[in-house]
Chains A and B, each alone.
Chain A
Amino acid sequence: MSGFKSRSLFSKGIRFWTSLVLSSAVTFASSLLADETCMSPYMAKIVGQEDFVYVWTLGAEGVGDEQDKLVTVDVNPASSSYGKVVNTLSVGGRNEAHHSGFTDDRHYLWAGGLDTSKIFIFDVHTDPAKPTLHKTIDNFVKTSGGVVGPHTTYALPGRMMVTGLSNDKDHGGRTALVEYSNAGDYVSTHWMPTDEDLGGATKSGNFADGYGYDIRALPRRNVMITSSFTGWNNYMMNLGKLMGDAEAMKRFGNTVVVWDLHSRQPKKVLDVPGAPLEIRCAWGPHNNYCFTTTALTSKVWLIYEDSAGEWQARAVADIGDAAQIPLPVDISISADDSLLWIDTWNDGKARLFDISDPFAPVQVQETKIGAQVNMTSQSWDGKRLYFTSSLLANWDKIEAPEGEDLQYFKAYTWDGKKLNHEFSIDFVAENLGLPHQMRFGAYSLYGLSNPQVAHRELAAGSLTGSN
């Protein structure tokens, strides 16, 4: 028994050092340029060539089977099916498919539906080319105590933190974080701080609206950061109707909340007006800051820990002309914290900002991707970028100007100066639907090799510890 114990301790020690070595390798790689950079630091990473992009796709009336599906695109240039859709998996119904995220072991992909509040859990490790539906959580609203619209599914050790967007009482923006085990069992609901119940947090400015959207963690600072969008009424309604409804336009989030990661308690509510959406935290070991962008006021905000150890929010750059409602949506940070890609949905542009001085980002490049552009994902080395078009079913553009693509998946390479188009898939022409969130898959993550690659070029996958 004692022999077993000491062996166990020994093997733990080995794992610890391996993880450190791998972390250093990651740091080294990231100094070249960077990636998959939006994932949880707790998660296994693909630091080499990804084999697949899983596209969580909205069903649309009149398109194919009209239901939400997980579409698998082969993106390995060495593969015989490169640039092709290699699998689709329909889940039934239109759920307002939106974001997705892997569990920390990267074995399962959790994909949420903002309308029906279902969470689909896909097995992506058994056969990375052909994900299967492992489990559907269909009692999210009931179990969580009335949270509607599971948005970000974010990996924490052994568990998933799911951000809500709305609630079943008024379909407004007040909501909560909902915690699950990796097995899909409900753990807890953490309500976003409101004036009436700040949950121990400090309201540092004018707002404590209780809204939610994205979540990221900085484990070494024991910090969790959440942002705030809008409730079901707004994200589900037609965008033109919304812009014309003065009452509805008052219902957007104006807050970022700093949480104690360990205790899950909100610590500080920061004013970040105009719907702060995606949060991307820096990777550098001394970079105690995260970025977010505001959809309506069109600004880059820095959420940072000051020299006194206090978390602050500051608007650090404009994104285009706010009066033209460019609508910044997804953002992606490079692994060396030097560059930030920002998609502006309304003008269909990918904008690159130099963020080497996080307090003074400067736009250095922009590329028109399509009539509209929403999500972007880059490889860990920053050399490959992928874009999709769909924002929300009833916000998406109905028509595209001549020559501009409307609903697509696009692959680009980045040569340090410009984006080079590699291939596109028209998701409507292919009868798939409206493409949204992208997540990368690789055989290497599971010790497998890619059967489609004739001369095996081993994708360098690694399981890293937390950074």
Chain B
Amino acid sequence: MVSGWTLHLKQTGIWPVCLVLLLCIQAETVPGQAEKNEPQVLAPGWSELEFNPPEAGSYRLPPMGMAGDGQVLDSNGEPTSLHQLMGDNVIVLSFIYSSCSDANGCPLATHVLERLQNQLLQEPGGAQGIRFISLSFDPVQDTPEVMKRYGRPYIAEGFDWRFLTTSGPQALEPVLESYGQSIVRDPDAGDGAAGNISHVLRVFLIDKNLRIRNIFSASYLHADTMLNDIRTLQMEAAGGTVLQGAGDVKVGYESASYQTRAQSLESRRGTSADLQMYLSMPPLGLPAIPIPVDNPITSAKIQLGKQLFFDRRLSLNNTFSCAMCHVPEQGFSSNELATAVGIEGQTVRRNSPTIYNVAYLERLFLDGRESTLEQQIWGPLLAHNEMGNPSVGYVIDKISAIPGYREQFERVFEGRPNTMETVGMAIASYERMLVSANSPFDRWYYGDEEEALSEEQKNGFKLFNGKANCSACHHVTEEFALFTDNQLHNTGLGYQQSMSKSPAETRIQIAPGEHVVVRGNIVADASEPPPNDLGQYEITQDPDDRWKYRTPSLRNIALTAPYMHNGSLSSLEEVINFYNLGGIRNEQLDPLIRPLSLSDDETRALLAFLIALTGDNVDLLVADAFAVPVGNTGSD
């Protein structure tokens, strides 16, 4: 067995040194790789790198799938999870055990990480935003106390390096499985305690979006290359497009001191993620994703649904995809419009609702008229003022005519072509996977992470459940929080829109910091009559249902402005103020809505709490969406 790096070692003349070292080693690696008790060739990580590593930032590290989660114990014996220790930092994760003596196994990993740690600390970039995690393979012997003792000599001051273990083999197994770490215990070692554990050494580099970006094995692991990989990820995060909010930033536009912060469309690029992982592992704070028995999730189906979601050819004149109103970086809704604009500029009455967590909704559309996502998809496709397709058959034929789709449907649906049913199933499967939670609130409430929320935010949550009574409709349970009751309510906003007279004066913004006040509608002769909207009444014909609309979830609410069914409130402050005043009085006003007498401090606390409801995976979902090519007419 002569690998590339052994040749290097021989050529550079450090071979005798290695031999000396090897005399002390009684270990084995994977069976077949090295015979027991025979001299071992040391991995390159023990010495200087034989080449100049590529410069940080000069290359890409494509994501290689999602980092797994699992329950672990920190070195104080406190339970936590791997994902709770990820997301805020670039992570270097290694699997070790304290009694491991294989020079090319655990000691190598720890040695390289220690060296990397020192390099990071000495570099101008520092060690900010970087965390090492070393997790034990051997929960029986490696108690939290043992791990603490093992790790102590390695951890430099000011560096974040966690030495973790698990409560037992049961907790460990799923973690090992998700990282592909199969282990073989030495048969002489008894019931798993002590003795040698054979494994393929793997160290994982994980980005802030919980994506694995590089995997190092014994022959590849080196502090110098890892250092540049970490810096590359940091440069990518610093230089990359901000993934949330309209790229055409208009924050502060009301003021004369407004400055643009426009993002480049060319940098609006992303990387695909494996959304299917949420099936087995929904983000903290959400229940399992409900999946219809007749539409099981597969990766290929999600992928197909994604393509269709971003395909503008799915409209009468090739200008509209689902994503033109559910814009990923705009909270999968539209931040730039109060109410949507459809094909040929036609007026849509309502604000584009977000697709985040749509899997959990029991009624779809703001008036609750549809029951399953598979069916709902056809609403916008066929609406004359949305995507404008004249018939189901037209859509099916059009999809058939686009090269590749028909074959893709047959592959995904085991021989079934694109039909009314399979089109709905594919798009629904993608939308269903857009689950988002593990927000600061979830980490605090469900993850017992005391510091995940500020005192003000915790106070806001108290008000949310108490004085402000938001939770009466925006439900939170002990196990999970959907932040909706899946019911429809009358807040008075719809009533106001239908029943009030047009204002005598309108204030119109004509440039940053510049407004004109015009009498009535200055463009009345160019205006269509505003369409009426009676809410759930239009579906039930029951006068008691006038102006009732579905309770939206509050998850990711900071990303989905403007608010309410008609987008009439532009900020969360305005929404809180609206409810603080008790909504708009009318006969069907929901009895739960009444003046709240919240003080300014209480309003601020409530707002702070709402902002803590943004899921930690929104960048991942948006980057995943950016990776999908927009479907347009014309050959490649």
A contact residues vs B (CB 8 Å cutoff): 93-96, 115-117, 138-143, 145-146, 148, 167-174, 176, 191, 194-197, 206-210, 231-233, 235-241, 243-252, 254, 273-274, 294, 296-297, 322-325, 346, 371-372, 393-401
Chain B window 336-352, contacts with chain A (Cβ cutoff 8 Å), 1 for yes, 0 for no: 11110100110100000
The answer to whether A247 and B525 have CB atoms under 8 Å apart is no
- Which one of B18-26, B174-182, B257-265, B589-597 contacts A? B257-265
Report B379-430 residues with CB < 8 Å from chain A CB.
none
Chain B window 620-636, contacts with chain A (Cβ cutoff 8 Å), 1 for yes, 0 for no: 00000000001011110
B621 to chain A: closest CB distance in Å? 16
Tell me if B516 is interfacial: C-beta within 8 Å of chain A. yes
The answer to whether A274 and B514 have CB atoms under 8 Å apart is yes
Query: Which B residues lie within 8 Å of A94 (CB)?
Result: 317, 344
Please judge, given known A-B contacts A196-B264, A241-B527, whether A251 and B522 are in contact too, CB under 8 Å: no
The answer to whether A243 and B338 have CB atoms under 8 Å apart is no
The answer to whether A169 and B630 have CB atoms under 8 Å apart is yes
Q: A115-B345, A170-B330 are in contact. List 15 more A-B contacts (CB 8 A).
A: A115-B317, A138-B634, A141-B632, A194-B262, A194-B264, A233-B337, A241-B530, A247-B570, A251-B250, A254-B260, A297-B511, A323-B516, A324-B522, A325-B516, A346-B523
A–B complex contacts, Cβ < 8 Å, 27 sampled: A94-B317, A94-B344, A116-B318, A138-B633, A139-B632, A139-B634, A146-B632, A148-B319, A191-B266, A194-B265, A197-B267, A207-B260, A207-B512, A238-B526, A240-B530, A243-B508, A243-B521, A244-B338, A245-B337, A245-B338, A245-B339, A247-B250, A294-B511, A323-B517, A325-B523, A394-B344, A397-B526
The answer to whether B633 and A142 have CB atoms under 8 Å apart is yes
The answer to whether A195 and B263 have CB atoms under 8 Å apart is yes
The answer to whether A209 and B248 have CB atoms under 8 Å apart is yes
Tell me if B247 is interfacial: C-beta within 8 Å of chain A. yes
The answer to whether B510 and A322 have CB atoms under 8 Å apart is yes
Query: Which B residues lie within 8 Å of A210 (CB)?
Result: 248, 262, 264-265
Please judge, given known A-B contacts A115-B319, A247-B338, whether A195 and B528 are in contact too, CB under 8 Å: no
The answer to whether A393 and B526 have CB atoms under 8 Å apart is no
A172 to B521, CA, bound (A): 25
A304 to chain B: closest CB distance in Å? 21
Kindly name the residue among B266, B344, B508, B511 whose own CB sees the greatest number of chain A CB atoms within 10 A.
Answer: B511
Closest CB pairs A-B (n = 6): A139-B634, A240-B527, A236-B345, A197-B264, A273-B511, A194-B262
Query: Which A residues lie within 8 Å of B528 (CB)?
Result: 238, 240-241, 398
The answer to whether A174 and B248 have CB atoms under 8 Å apart is yes
Report B414-452 residues with CB < 8 Å from chain A CB.
none
Chain B window 225-264, contacts with chain A (Cβ cutoff 8 Å), 1 for yes, 0 for no: 0000000000000000100001110100100011111111
Please judge, given known A-B contacts A142-B633, A197-B264, A237-B345, whether A170 and B526 are in contact too, CB under 8 Å: no
Report B243-302 residues with CB < 8 Å from chain A CB.
246-248, 250, 253, 257-268
A245 to B318, CA, bound (A): 26
Please judge, given known A-B contacts A139-B634, A194-B263, A254-B512, whether A247 and B562 are in contact too, CB under 8 Å: yes
A141 to B253, CA, bound (A): 29
The answer to whether A249 and B509 have CB atoms under 8 Å apart is yes
The answer to whether B324 and A171 have CB atoms under 8 Å apart is yes
The answer to whether B337 and A393 have CB atoms under 8 Å apart is no
Tell me if B518 is interfacial: C-beta within 8 Å of chain A. yes
| Shortest Cβ distance from A176 into B: residue | B265
A133 to B632, CA, bound (A): 23
Query: Which A residues lie within 8 Å of B517 (CB)?
Result: 323
A142 to B629, CA, bound (A): 10
B340 to chain A: closest CB distance in Å? 9
The answer to whether B341 and A233 have CB atoms under 8 Å apart is yes
The answer to whether A170 and B511 have CB atoms under 8 Å apart is no
Query: Which A residues lie within 8 Å of B261 (CB)?
Result: 195
